Amino acid sequence: MSNYHIKHLEEYFKTHRKSVREPELFWEEIAEEHFVWRKRWDKVLSWDFRKPEVKWFEGAKLNITENCIDRHLRMKGDKTAILFEPNDPNAPAEHITYNRLYERVNQLANVLKSKGIKKGDRVCIYLPMIPELAISLLACARIGAIHSVVFAGFSSNALSSRINDSECKMVITSDGSYRGSKTIDLKGIVDEALIDCPCVEKVLVVNRINAEIELKEGRDEWLAPLLETASTECEAEIMDAEDPLFILYTSGSTGQPKGMVHTTAGYMVYTAYTFKNVFQYRENDVYWCTADIGWITGHSYIVYGPLANGATTVMFEGVPSYPDYGRFWQVIEKHKVNQFYTAPTAIRALAKQGGSFLEDYNLSSLKVLGSVGEPINEEAWHWYNDNVGKRKSPIVDTWWQTETGGIMLSPLPYITPTKPTYATLPLPGIQPALLDESGDEILGNQVDGRLCIKFPWPSIARTIWGNHQRYKETYFSAFDNMYFTGDGALRDEVGYYRITGRVDDVIIVSGHNLGTAPIEDAINEHPAVAESAIVGFPHDIKGSALYGYVTLKEAGEERNHDNLRKEINQLISDHIGPIAKLDKIQFTKGLPKTRSGKIMRRILRKIACNEMDNLGDISTLLNPEVVEEIIKDAQQ
């Protein structure tokens, strides 16, 4: 009996029970029936969260691109694999069939090889949302190179620190990118980043915007001429199940981003399985996820999960507001999109425009609506449900993380009754637990606590690149023998989960996971700044926005505050990217601290959120008097 495709609620419960009782048998059956392996595994799972170490399908040999491309060629070579919708609404969409994808991936794989890239080498990909981006991931996977995609909105500083952390030998980029009516000079950003990256030997450049750029002799080359002469056949490198497939950076609570390492077999099995069930994908459906491939959502649910199922996946280069706020709806109508997966921040931005943009378009193809990246508030949920889904398309509120590789909590559409703001139930294979502050599991319903996962699932990140100790400390030290997510959650009377938000120093702004520490580090580089602390506060569209408290080295300098504010935001833009800019900056004489010198963010957060009457006990602070002053200034 195949468990692969769940169709009824009873079946979901049965499958989940089986996955808890016999996890190895459960995943083994799925792996066996739905993928091609060059060699079968010797052992389904070995794990120890205390070490920590997790291995799935040990001993198996495979190549993920044979599963995502080659095996579909016989039955659906002419089916569209990637449907590319460009930024310019008047430019033609591009239908890349599985046959053509096979050729293009192999050509690029051959180019990479000819430039000296071998199995295990790291390749940084810094590209806009164009087909070459997806093809680059797959070409790396074809030859066993480890891809490290850096979102093309990150600054040159952020790019160079990521390149250096994993010592990438190559960067694949483009001459520039389109973003609505603007163009962005990506190659210029790469050039600046590479001043500090001695490890990079080669840069391959896609021509996207016909920009006049400089090619550095011996280092940079246009990609197109190399592809033209490359063979369309490239033997797939045979990988071990636990060989790294990619590194993807996520922010943490210290300055250095964490390079999460995902491995081959488990990641493939889990993303494919969850894609099929969470979106209830059927053979001729057109599926569209609006995320950028620079984030895990794009890796798992634009590229690997859909292609492993032989699906048609839309790649959109543009933005929701260009040429106007009807763009998403126009694309849905044009391509008759069946499953649409986006972020609450986009939903709120579109809701703010009202329903008028929607009226012009026929959205009747839609069957499933997805949400990801941050808690979806009740208002946005209803707007999405009423106006986009016309109360006919269930919303799947999918909770997961870069670290989890795939969706962990989500309703199954047409199967699990939905409830606004609830990610509802764990997918098969997932064993969530809520823990209290002393580390005890909270049983029963109508409770809340810190969200942990008790048992490994196939796509859990295996380590942080180059820093296994940090991996252990971040995820496996807060609670014994558990993976700690960093999120708080509640479980309602029927056992549904609702994510209440981060309980650490990570703030989710417009769905982007931002650590406070790297932002504070950037601010503190300003010569006038002594100290800073960042907290989140509620924002209509972004969900949360950033509020910075900054103390200056010399009193009086704040008189120049407008300039200082600009300079501080410029520093943040340079170091991280414009997404991390502060909405509010308050200059203060001091920051509230504990007696051991730790900044009390809890108090600053309350002030930023305008919850001053409920600050809790501040008498134990080292400097309670600064709190009064901060409140006074905040209210001005």
Q: Which residues bind ligand WT7 (CB under 6 A)?
A: 250, 295-297, 372-375, 397-402, 423, 485-487, 499, 502, 508, 513
**Nearest residue (CB) to ligand WT7, 187 versus 498:** 498
**Nearest residue (CB) to ligand WT7, 388 versus 568:** 388
Strand-pairing partners, residue 514, are 507
Look at the chain and count its residues: 636
Positive or negative torsion for Cα 595, 598, 602, 607: positive
Strand-pairing partners, residue 546, are 536
* Residues 218, 219, 223: CA angle, nearest 5 degrees: 110
Question: Where are the alpha helices (H) located in 492-534, listed in sequence order?
Answer: 516-524
Question: Where are the alpha helices (H) located in 144-282, listed in sequence order?
Answer: 156-165, 186-194, 223-228, 264-278
Question: Min. distance of Cβ 363 from ligand WT7 in angstroms?
Answer: 22
Contact 558, 571 (CB under 8 A): no
- Residues 364 and 409: their CA atoms lie apart, in Å, by 27
Question: Min. distance of Cβ 388 from ligand WT7 in angstroms?
Answer: 17
- Residues 89 and 421: their CA atoms lie apart, in Å, by 33
423: amino acid identity, one letter: A
Contact 87, 112 (CB under 8 A): no
**Nearest residue (CB) to ligand WT7, 111 versus 372:** 372
**Nearest residue (CB) to ligand WT7, 204 versus 380:** 380
Question: Min. distance of Cβ 406 from ligand WT7 in angstroms?
Answer: 9
Per-residue tokens: 147: 């891809």
How far, in Å, are 22, 55, 430, 437 from residue 44 at the CA level?
11, 8, 16, 34
- Residues 397 and 295: their CA atoms lie apart, in Å, by 18
- Residues 219 and 151: their CA atoms lie apart, in Å, by 22
**Nearest residue (CB) to ligand WT7, 60 versus 395:** 395
Question: Min. distance of Cβ 345 from ligand WT7 in angstroms?
Answer: 11
Per-residue tokens: 598: 């730790």
Question: Min. distance of Cβ 549 from ligand WT7 in angstroms?
Answer: 23
Question: Min. distance of Cβ 378 from ligand WT7 in angstroms?
Answer: 13
Question: Min. distance of Cβ 330 from ligand WT7 in angstroms?
Answer: 25
Question: Min. distance of Cβ 291 from ligand WT7 in angstroms?
Answer: 7
Contact 68, 304 (CB under 8 A): yes
Question: Min. distance of Cβ 492 from ligand WT7 in angstroms?
Answer: 15
How many alpha carbons fall within 13 Å on the CB side of residue 520? 25
| Residue 297 CB coordination number (10 Å) | 24
**Nearest residue (CB) to ligand WT7, 144 versus 432:** 432
Question: Min. distance of Cβ 376 from ligand WT7 in angstroms?
Answer: 7
Nearest by Cα to 275 from 303, 239, 234, 236: 303
User: At 357, which helix (H) or strand (E)?
Assistant: helix 356-359
- Residues 567 and 156: their CA atoms lie apart, in Å, by 17
Pairing type for strands 395-398 and 122-126 reads: unpaired
3-state SS assignment for residue 487: strand
Question: Min. distance of Cβ 518 from ligand WT7 in angstroms?
Answer: 14
- Residues 617 and 619: their CA atoms lie apart, in Å, by 6
**Nearest residue (CB) to ligand WT7, 141 versus 506:** 506
**Nearest residue (CB) to ligand WT7, 315 versus 550:** 315
**Nearest residue (CB) to ligand WT7, 398 versus 510:** 398
**Nearest residue (CB) to ligand WT7, 543 versus 592:** 543
Residue position matching structure tokens 């496996």: 476
**Nearest residue (CB) to ligand WT7, 344 versus 592:** 344
Question: Min. distance of Cβ 375 from ligand WT7 in angstroms?
Answer: 4
Question: Min. distance of Cβ 340 from ligand WT7 in angstroms?
Answer: 15
Residue position matching structure tokens 């499953």: 339
**Nearest residue (CB) to ligand WT7, 290 versus 297:** 297
Pairing type for strands 395-398 and 432-435 reads: unpaired
How many alpha carbons fall within 13 Å on the CB side of residue 442? 19
Nearest by Cα to 470 from 202, 229, 261: 261
Strand-pairing partners, residue 83, are 95, 314
**Nearest residue (CB) to ligand WT7, 178 versus 287:** 287
Nearest by Cα to 324 from 345, 354, 282: 354
**Nearest residue (CB) to ligand WT7, 456 versus 515:** 515
- Residues 466 and 260: their CA atoms lie apart, in Å, by 10
Question: Min. distance of Cβ 548 from ligand WT7 in angstroms?
Answer: 21
